[in-house]
Amino acid sequence: MDGLEHGEKMRHILEGLEHVAQGVTIFDQSLKLVAWNSTFLAIYGYPRSMAFPGADFESFIAFNARKGDYGPGDAAAQIAERVAIARQFRRHRMQRRRADGSSIEIEGHPLPSGGFVTTYTDITDVVRQREILREEVARKTSALHLSEQRLGLIADEVPAGIAHLDEDMNFLYVNKRFAHAYGLEASAAIGLNAAEVLHPRTLSESRKFFEQSRRGALVDFEMQIELPGGRFKDIRTLLRPERPASGEAAGFYLLSIDITRRKATSNALMRSQKMDALGRLASGISHDFNNLLTVILGNLVPLAEGLDDAELVSEFLTPAISAARRGSALTKRLLTLARREELDPQPTAIPDAIEDICKLLAATLPGSLRLVQDHGDDLPLAMVDQAQLEMALLNLAMNARDATEGQGTIRIETSLYALQPDEAGFHHMRAGDYIRLRVSDDGCGMSPDMAEKIFEPFVTSKAAGKGSGLGLSMVYRFVRQSNGAIWVDSRPDHGTVFTIMLPVDHGGSVSAPAPSSHTPAPPDDQPRLILLVEDDPDVRRAIRRQIGRLGHHLIEVGSADEALVLIEQVHGIEIVLSDIDMPGRLDGCALAERLCDRQPALPVVLMSGKTDPTRANNRLANVPFLAKPFTDEDLRDALQKAVVLPDRGAAPNETADLSGRG
């Protein structure tokens, strides 16, 4: 091939290379330039004079070195290093960032006849876009991490346990509250199966809810769970599946809220409402019911005393009288439970009070039942009504006796306890020092449902006829009125523990009872003229017999208005015995007040089937009160007490206008 033909071919090759978007060079085995295009020169900024057939590869490298494309260092060494690499004629691909900030991708391929062909691509814009994209990814990744941290902080701080479980019930995530409830660190719980974390009973009872959520259902439920250390919590749990309504097993999210405090508050409110309703009910029926019992006992007792047939009395009358008296006692307990009596709290040594009641219990408990006391050292005094405390302990001990069936151990412990603010808020108490009193037994225990409502009136776990269900209600009322708290921990076959918190005496003054203003007179059984004021004829008849059996004389009327008229007209009335609830302008209390104002020397005795109203009325503080039904001895004591009260002024037979007419 002659030179002309060769030159023509080279011209065609170079023209063809001009249409390639990349820079192209071909060097022979001696690293002499064979072919190139103008894009190659433009990319590197080479002058056109540098490119000619036979141009040395080293000249291009030297140009780059002088412009600083290879960075700081010795230019000669940089040139020699790159020429030596090129002489190896190896396939290569690399990116180079030039001193002017542009980026070039270089890809070289060795030729079979020697030398190599190289392409040069300006990727400055691509690199810039990559950097922008990389910065955006970094920014979004940082924002995502920050968001995750915020969500993690929120999840750890919300008052709920949060967890994420996969379809195999393995934990993928738990927040701190959930993990700490089970004595774990959040990181340690990841990967554990639910069976390794939850209590077997909790898992068994909640498994059906978990399965519903795994199948795509939205589930909400409440239950009591058992935590490590024998702790129990009432929780509300919300389960949300990852794929709602898919029908296939899937993971789900769990959120558990501790509702123990809310449930306790709700129960306390409900218990208070029940007590209030009970009070209204008891107050409403007690008067009529006790009037009926008064009539029943007023007829049965003299009948039993007048019959000579002992077998008939024992077989029929004695059980009837006993049942009527039990009915009276039950009504009185209802009234005691329903009303908020004013307690008489005094600084009390709790261990000493327990010693006293245990001496009483020792004589009544069976020998197979041990009674153990364990008192803390140097306990401060507590502000309680000691009589009510002893009654509460007696009720708890009797319950423990029945729970153990007379065999086992009853333990009574006392200690000083510092109630912290969060725990105090849970029990609606003030934080501070309390005497903690625990009464425990190793008896049959109670179910969670029974333990939850054990303080409600008429709730009892005893067999029919073995208890009224009022004992623990009275204990609860006493503790709450004492500004304390009581709760029960019990499980079937694991015994029961009643815990009572009583406020510590902080050195407040103790009010001593006022000295008596007079010396009681000796018993006075002489016959007296009594005015009986009672609107129910049957009750009046029964009380008339009682007064007659005591040897007194009697005048009777059916209302307070009639009594006032009779007192004006009849001289010599020595005692007025009046019912409280009566029809007319005045009830018994108003009658007593009128007599105290106008004829203070005339003794008055009030009676009722309801609670004693004189305790809340200072004007009637010295007026004796009889709770219907009452025995002859009760009546005698009340009349005697009225007679021996200090002289209040006018003579008993002094008449005055008591009607209010002037």
- Would you state the structure tokens that stand for residue 386, as one six-digit string? 């000691």
Cβ neighbours of residue 5 under 8 Å, at least 6 residues apart? none
521 with 276: CB under 8 angstroms?
A: no
Q: Which residue has the higher pLDDT, 662 or 384?
A: 384
- pLDDT band at residue 635 using 50, 70 and 90 as cut-offs: very high
For 444-464, what is the mean pLDDT?
A: 71
Amino acid at 356: D
Instruction: Give the per-residue pLDDT at 519.
Output: 37
Amino acid at 201: R
- pLDDT band at residue 606 using 50, 70 and 90 as cut-offs: very high
CA angle at 57 for the pair 56 and 59, rounded to the nearest 5° = 70
For 376-395, what is the mean pLDDT?
A: 85
Q: Which of 552, 547, 520, 515 is nearest to 643 (CA)?
A: 520
Domain membership flag for residue 648: no
DSSP letter for 314, please: I
Q: Are residues 89 and 23 in the same domain?
A: yes
Q: Are strands 496-503 and 23-27 parallel, antiparallel or unpaired?
A: unpaired
Residue 411's Cβ-side half-sphere holds a number of Cα atoms within 13 Å equal to: 15
Please spell the DSSP secondary structure of 487-526, one letter per residue: EEEE-TTS-EEEEEEEEBP-S---PPPPPPSSPPPPP---
SS3 state at 271: helix
CA gap 462, 474 in Å, rounded: 17
> What region, left, alpha or beta, does residue 181 occupy, with left being phi > 0 and alpha being psi -120 to 50 degrees?
alpha
Instruction: Give the per-residue pLDDT at 106.
Output: 93
For 288-312, what is the mean pLDDT?
A: 79
Is residue 355 pLDDT above 50, yes or no? Answer: yes
For 399-417, what is the mean pLDDT?
A: 89
SS3 state at 569: helix
Could you tell me what percent of the chain has a pLDDT over 90?
25
The enclosing H or E element of 372 equals strand 369-375
Look up tokens 């941290």; give the residue: 149
Counting every residue written for the chain, the total comes to 662
CA gap 118, 32 in Å, rounded: 13
Q: Are residues 163 and 226 in the same domain?
A: yes
Find residue 625's DSSP bridge partners: 606
Question: What's the total number of domains in the chain?
Answer: 5
Q: For residue 312, give its domain range.
A: 273-338
Q: Are residues 485 and 359 in the same domain?
A: yes
Is residue 263 pLDDT above 70, yes or no? Answer: yes
CA gap 112, 28 in Å, rounded: 11
Instruction: Give the per-residue pLDDT at 71.
Output: 87
- pLDDT band at residue 651 using 50, 70 and 90 as cut-offs: very low
Q: What is the CATH number of the domain that holds 569?
A: 3.40.50.2300
- pLDDT band at residue 21 using 50, 70 and 90 as cut-offs: confident
In this structure, of 99-108, 225-234, 378-387, 609-618, the range with the lowest mean pLDDT score is 609-618
Domain membership flag for residue 78: yes
CA gap 221, 48 in Å, rounded: 84
Instruction: Give the per-residue pLDDT at 653.
Output: 41
Q: Are residues 495 and 350 in the same domain?
A: yes
Instruction: Give the per-residue pLDDT at 512.
Output: 35
Is residue 345 pLDDT above 90, yes or no? Answer: no
Q: Are residues 162 and 230 in the same domain?
A: yes
Phi first, then psi: what are they for 135, rounded to 5°? -65, -40
Q: What is the CATH number of the domain that holds 390?
A: 3.30.565.10
Look up tokens 């209802």; give the residue: 334
The enclosing H or E element of 319 equals helix 318-338
104 with 121: CB under 8 angstroms?
A: yes
Note the pTM of the prediction, 2 decimals.
0.42
Domain membership flag for residue 625: yes
For 225-254, what is the mean pLDDT?
A: 83
Instruction: Give the per-residue pLDDT at 343.
Output: 62
Q: What is the CATH number of the domain that holds 243?
A: 3.30.450.20
Instruction: Give the per-residue pLDDT at 247.
Output: 62
Q: Which of 431, 440, 570 is nearest to 496 (CA)?
A: 440
CA gap 142, 157 in Å, rounded: 22
For the chain, give the longest Cα–Cα distance.
Answer: 170
Domain membership flag for residue 267: no
437 with 500: CB under 8 angstroms?
A: yes
In this structure, of 517-526, 564-573, 625-634, the range with the lowest mean pLDDT score is 517-526
Q: Are residues 360 and 238 in the same domain?
A: no
Is residue 644 pLDDT above 90, yes or no? Answer: no
DSSP letter for 90, please: -
In this structure, of 119-123, 424-428, 509-513, the range with the lowest mean pLDDT score is 509-513
- Model confidence over 271-283: pLDDT tens digits? 666 666 666 666 6
Burial class (CB in 10 A: 0-12, 13-18, 19+), 526: exposed
For 173-186, what is the mean pLDDT?
A: 89
For 165-178, what is the mean pLDDT?
A: 91
Max mean pLDDT range (230-234, 313-317, 634-638): 634-638
Instruction: Give the per-residue pLDDT at 7.
Output: 64
Residue 563's Cβ-side half-sphere holds a number of Cα atoms within 13 Å equal to: 34
How many of the other CB atoms lie within 10 Å of CB of 236? Answer: 16
Find residue 116's DSSP bridge partners: 27, 110
Burial class (CB in 10 A: 0-12, 13-18, 19+), 602: buried
CA gap 287, 276 in Å, rounded: 18
DSSP letter for 217, please: -
Domain stop point among 224, 258, 292:
258
607 with 628: CB under 8 angstroms?
A: yes
- pLDDT band at residue 165 using 50, 70 and 90 as cut-offs: very high
Q: Are residues 363 and 327 in the same domain?
A: no
Dihedral Cα 195, 198, 200, 206, nearest 10 deg: -100
CA gap 618, 153 in Å, rounded: 62
Rg of the chain on CA atoms, in Å? 50
Domain stop point among 217, 232, 258:
258
CA gap 71, 74 in Å, rounded: 9
Is residue 377 pLDDT above 70, yes or no? Answer: yes
354 with 373: CB under 8 angstroms?
A: yes
- Would you state the structure tokens that stand for residue 203, as one six-digit string? 């898992």
Distances (CA, A) of 33 to 37, 54, 63, 83, 85: 11, 5, 15, 14, 17
How many of the other CB atoms lie within 10 Å of CB of 458? Answer: 12
Q: Are residues 29 and 92 in the same domain?
A: yes
- Would you state the structure tokens that stand for residue 409, as one six-digit string? 């151990």
Domain membership flag for residue 352: yes
Domain membership flag for residue 140: no
Is residue 237 pLDDT above 90, yes or no? Answer: yes
Instruction: Give the per-residue pLDDT at 292.
Output: 80
CA gap 613, 287 in Å, rounded: 13
Cβ neighbours of residue 404 under 8 Å, at least 6 residues apart? 369, 410, 441, 442, 443, 444
Q: Is the peptide bond before 159 cis (omega within 30 degrees of 0)?
A: no
229 with 260: CB under 8 angstroms?
A: no
CA gap 89, 222 in Å, rounded: 77
CA gap 43, 322 in Å, rounded: 120
505 with 433: CB under 8 angstroms?
A: no
- pLDDT band at residue 657 using 50, 70 and 90 as cut-offs: very low
Domain membership flag for residue 512: no
Q: Which of 430, 434, 291 is nearest to 350 (CA)?
A: 434
Q: Are residues 368 and 499 in the same domain?
A: yes
CA angle at 340 for the pair 415 and 386, rounded to the nearest 5° = 35
Q: Are residues 329 and 361 in the same domain?
A: no
37 with 24: CB under 8 angstroms?
A: yes
Instruction: Give the per-residue pLDDT at 662.
Output: 37
Please spell the DSSP secondary structure of 54-74, one letter per residue: T-BHHHHHHHHHHTTTT-SS-
Q: Are residues 432 and 466 in the same domain?
A: yes
For 479-507, what is the mean pLDDT?
A: 87
Is residue 648 pLDDT above 50, yes or no? Answer: no
Q: Are residues 254 and 280 in the same domain?
A: no
- pLDDT band at residue 583 using 50, 70 and 90 as cut-offs: confident
Q: What is the mean pLDDT of the chain?
A: 81
Instruction: Give the per-residue pLDDT at 511.
Output: 36
Is residue 574 pLDDT above 60, yes or no? Answer: yes
Domain membership flag for residue 128: no
